[in-house]
Amino acid sequence: MAFYQEPPRLTNAYDQDRVLGEHLARLLPPEVFDGVEPELREMGEAAAGTLLELAARVEADPPRLIQYDPWGRRIDRVEVSPAWLALQAWQARGGICALPYEDRHGPHDRVVQHSLDLLRSERKGTLSSLLTDLDERLESARELPQLASVVALIESDRAALATRARAWGDSETDVVHAGMHAYAMRLGRCYAAALLVEHSAHRLRQHDDVRAAMVARRYAQRWLSAPLPEINFARLDESLVVLGVAEAAPDPSGAPLLPA
């Protein structure tokens, strides 16, 4: 009898992300958290189902530039897959972009928005989708001189992240694992900076308020100025010990490899 292994099945992204739920429970007032949790859970379910399926179709059918029509006329039309249009419509119906401007949760609107956006993007496609999304968040700020230096830092970091990811395609598994911790931390900080820039652009245009731009500038200068860290094999060895995959190498000094 033939044996077929069942593929892994993703479950609700919100229910699986215990850290996010616990963090929001501490950060949000109880009445706000109780009100938004059903929405978060619905987004988590979509991220593991509808959005995941649409994302796979988008990745398999990238946009195409049509330069000429059948009669030789220059048209320069970009054709996208129906799945891309469906993703766009789904996001519009979800109201994620509009949420902070509708004053649904008062000063907590941005926290709720970013949590929903995290769940939406968590499983919507490959790393290339995340890097593309990061680039799109800078669009509203590129023409603002107050944010030029921050945008330049983020774009430089995004390019370095994309280059590192492409290089991993020819690397051994251990090399990828050793670099993943620093890569994930840097990607998260780069994305956070892009969110700050997106918010700063809105504050500048709508309220002529430079304070958010100053915060974004300080954040980017602190976390994105240094080059992307090199691969850390010591961290890989420590991780394997924690997971029980390997035994800790004896330290001549007698000190433990990991803190108790």
Q: Where are the domains of the chain?
A: 11-124, 126-248+256-260
Please say whether the beta carbons of 40 and 32 come within 8 A: no
Portion of the chain with pLDDT greater than 70, in percent:
78
* Confidence at residue 254, expressed as pLDDT on a 0 to 100 scale: 47
The mean pLDDT of 217-236, rounded to a whole number, is 79
**What are the tokens at 159?**
């390019």
Give the pLDDT band (50/70/90) at residue 31: very high
* Confidence at residue 214, expressed as pLDDT on a 0 to 100 scale: 94
* Confidence at residue 170, expressed as pLDDT on a 0 to 100 scale: 53
Give the C-alpha distances (Å, rounded to integers) separating 118 from 96, 141, 187: 11, 21, 13
The mean pLDDT of 86-101, rounded to a whole number, is 81
Neighbours of 239 (CB within 10 A): 16
Angle subtended at Cα 77 by Cα 76 and Cα 83, rounded to the nearest 5 degrees: 155
Alpha-carbon distance 110 to 100, whole Å?
Answer: 6
**What are the tokens at 60?**
């398999």
Question: Which residues have a Cβ under 8 Å from the Cβ of 237 and sit 6 or more positions away?
Answer: 246, 249, 257
| 258, pLDDT greater than 70 | no
Indicate if the alpha-carbon torsion angle 162, 13, 53, 9 is positive or negative. positive
| 134, pLDDT greater than 70 | yes
Neighbours of 134 (CB within 10 A): 22
pTM: 0.49
Please choose, from the candidates 121, 104, 98, 161, the residue with its C-alpha nearest in 3D space to the C-alpha of residue 13.
121
* Confidence at residue 9, expressed as pLDDT on a 0 to 100 scale: 73
* Confidence at residue 245, expressed as pLDDT on a 0 to 100 scale: 45
Indicate if the alpha-carbon torsion angle 231, 235, 240, 246 is positive or negative. positive
| 260, pLDDT greater than 50 | no
The model's pLDDT over 71-82, given as tens digits with 9 standing for 90+, comes to 999 988 888 889
The most confident of 2-11, 50-59, 155-164, 207-216, by mean pLDDT: 207-216
